[in-house]
Structure 1
Amino acid sequence: MYKNLRLSIERKISLTDDEWNFVVEKTEFIKLKKNEFLQIQNSNSSYECFILKGAFKTYILNDNGNETVIFFSFENEWMCDLENFYHQKPTTYNIKALEDSEILVISKANKTLLFEQVPKLIQFHIIMVEKANIAIQQRLLDVLNKNSKQRYLEFIERYPNKFKVISNKNLSSYLGVSHEFLSKIKRRV
């Protein structure tokens, strides 16, 4: 079950078996059913997560109760509300399972212990934070500089097996278009 997590880490740094066992001790396995929440906006739940199986949407609810999907996350990806996790502020986002999912989570306290016991994980951490920052910047640039059709085509190219899990409502929210306009894009493609 933890094999994919180890592969994810060891693509960047190598671990001894003892170091790996310490990582396993500090993570928790969680199963979520479709539509269950990992995190609810304005709560104090604070996890860094690695997705073993499933799909998630990270979104906000605005004052009118409308959803804006910020990210989708899939197998072998990390997800985290960065400000909440690193600064212990109330959560900014809702994180909801789009299908039955399995994840490994680590708390801030356990991550701190991992850094103390396995200092080279700090290097992995830096790489992951850099990757998250790049993803956030790319998402912003895409929204500002690409039209919805381009964003749609890039999404289905990046996730050819997963875009079918995403409802039109969620995908239109992510793309920033109406459900009807997304249908027009799909017909043209």
Structure 2
Amino acid sequence: MYNLLRQNIERKIPLSDADWKAIVDKIKFVKLKKNTFLQVQDSNNAHEVFILKGAFKTYILNENGTESVLFFSFEDEWICDIECFYHQKPTKYNIQAIEDSEIVLIDKTNKMSLFEQVPKLIQLYIALLEKNNNHIEERLLDTLNKTSKQRYLDFTKKYSHKTNKINNKNLSSYLGVSHEFLSKIKKTV
């Protein structure tokens, strides 16, 4: 059932059967329906999550009530509001399923216990932090240096097999353009 999770971890670090058992004993399997919230802005409910199946959007609700989509997450990816998870601060983001999804999650107490039981998982954590930091830097640089059309083309190239899971409202929010402008971009490509 958790084969995808084990493969994801073993791309970074080798696991013995005892290591794997320790992990499985600390995680929880959850199914979420489309539009269900995994995390709500300003709450203290944070988990580290691995997506077995499905897709999520991470976004903020601005003061005027509009959504600004920061990230999309898909199968074989991790989601975590690091500040909320590790520092017990209220979350700044909403994380919502954009399709029926299956995930495994772990809370901070179990994660810290796993670090003690399987210390090499700290290597995985460092690798995930580095990847997350690179992703944020790329997103920022793209927003500052590329046109909306180029960001759209890059997104559809990178996530060609996932683009159909994202509606135009969410994609236009992610790109920082109006729904109408996104339609114009799509017509020119």
Tell me the CA shift for residue 152 of structure 1: 0.5
Query: Following superposition of structure 1 onto structure 2, how do residues 137-176 of structure 1 map, counting pairs within 5 Å?
Result: 137-176=137-176
C-alpha distance in 1 between matches for 2:32 and 2:111: 22
Give me the CA root mean square deviation: 0.6
When normalised by structure 1's length, the TM-score is 0.99
**What percentage of residue pairs aligned between the two structures are identical?**
67
Partner of 1:99: 99
CA distance in 1, matches of 2:89, 2:67: 21
Amino acid at match of 2:149: K
Aligned length, in residue pairs: 189
Amino acid at match of 2:152: Y
Secondary structure, counterpart of 1:15 in structure 2: coil
Aligned to 1:4: 4
Residue 72 of structure 1: how far off its partner (Å)? 0.1
CA distance in 1, matches of 2:45, 2:60: 15
AA partner of residue 98 (structure 2): L
Partners of 1:145 and 1:28 in 2: CA distance = 41
Amino acid at match of 1:140: L
Q: Does 1:62 align with 2:62?
A: yes
**Could you state the TM-score of these two structures normalised by the residue count of structure 2?**
0.99
Instruction: Tell me the CA shift for residue 46 of structure 1.
Output: 1.0
For structure 1, the 5+ residue unaligned runs are none
Letter in 1 for 2:66: N
Letter paired with 2:188: R
Tell me if 1:179 matches 2:188.
Answer: no
* 3-state SS of paired residue (2:29): strand
Cα distance in structure 2, aligned partners of 1:166 and 1:106: 26
Deviation at residue 128 of structure 1 after TM alignment:
0.5
Instruction: Give unmatched runs, 5+ long, in structure 2.
Output: none
Corresponding residue of 2:48: 48
Superimposed CA distance per residue, residues 147-181 of structure 1 (whole angstroms, 9 cap, x where no aligned partner): 11111011111111111110100000000000000
Q: Distance between the aligned counterparts of 1:143 and 1:46, measured in 2?
A: 27
* Distance in 1 separating the partners of 2:142 and 2:21: 40
CA deviation after TM superposition for structure 1 residue 82, in Å: 1.3
Amino acid at match of 2:121: L
Counterpart AA for 1:187? K
User: How many Å apart are 1:60 and its aligned residue?
Assistant: 0.1
Find the residue that maps to 2:79 and give its secondary structure: strand
Q: Post-superposition shift, 1:87?
A: 0.9
Counterpart Cα distance in 2 of 1:97 and 1:37: 6
Per-residue Cα deviation, 1:26-78 (whole angstroms, up to 9, x for no partner): 11101100000000000011101100000000000011100000000000001
Q: For the residues of structure 2 that align with 1:88 and 1:133, how far apart are their CA atoms?
A: 20
The residue matched to 2:42 in structure 1 has which SS? coil
CA distance in 2, matches of 1:160, 1:185: 16
